[in-house]
Structure 1
Amino acid sequence: MITRTGPGRLIRVKERMNGAMYREILSDNLLPSARALKMKRGWVFQHDNDPKHTARATKEWLRKKHFKVLEWPSQSPDLNPIENLWRELKVRVAQRQPQNITALEEICMEEWAKIPATMD
């Protein structure tokens, strides 16, 4: 999650994600991130058109939780602002050259925490 006040929680997904896991991640992290970032009511959630995101069960879950979701054109990753953030994180992590998966996870978390609310 990214917002105008900064990035939300970064979590490691240790296995192949499916729709149920995606909804669990949202359940465990979306509102806590919004609260931690002191977001006001009326914010809009955006995700891309990955099948896990557009699954009927996911749409229903979001509707029941009263999340306002931004409609998103298919095949448009260039419009998604989080893509810039992923690139920034990759560059920062590569500069630190993690030597194993544990170091990779630690460095990702450290660098994510350093990302400012606004980036040039």
Structure 2
Amino acid sequence: MHLVPASLRQRALGMVQGGMGTADVARAIHRNVPTVRRLRQRYRETGSTADRPLSGRPRVTSPVRNQPRTTREELVNNLKRAGTTVSKVTVGNTLRRHGLKSCMARKVPLLKPAHVKARLKFANDHLDDPEESWEKVMWSDETKIELFGHNSTNRVWRKKNDEYHPKNTIPTVKHGGGSIMLWGCFSAHGTGRLHCIKERMTGAMYCEIFPQSIEDGSRLGLPT
């Protein structure tokens, strides 16, 4: 728990005591579920969320590998409690020497285990499909764009090409205030028209849009 600032620990504790689930609390404070469980267990045993004394000099890179969102200031405080005083510049240089760079966390769709399993199955089923077969496929999807939202960013320490590792991403869901819904399609030959959906997408609305997408498919060189 020494990687979680005191203010964040108190916030998490308040959520737990308020009846919020462990997974929801973990997402809210951008930490993993075991961290929240340890915080709850420590409070039950000691009545406090304060850190236990650290023994030995911790490695700078160890906490970052487990918690990529750890800040340089948190690492400096961690080392200070263990009896080692270093600057944030020194911590940053050490991490970079180990191939770790501070980058903005990538936002990815929040997928349930069933979604991950289905996507992996689809990829494996079509792994050996010839390139020509994909030229006959038209892809479509819809997305909600928030007109009013948070522009805050989160940074993580990661190595090159690790931007989509689960630890280095921020799961997102489609919700919020003012927004517009867009629907579109594309193929290997280009993009189709973009439709603005003013109401909730229904089967009837999809049937109305689909003939137009067929026309787009013909224009994009797909069989109709």
The structure with higher relative contact order (CA 8 Å, sep 6+) is: 1
Which entry has the higher C-alpha Rg, 1 or 2?
2
* TM-score (normalised: structure 1): 0.30
Q: Structure 2 length normalisation: TM-score?
A: 0.17
> Which structure carries more strand by proportion?
2
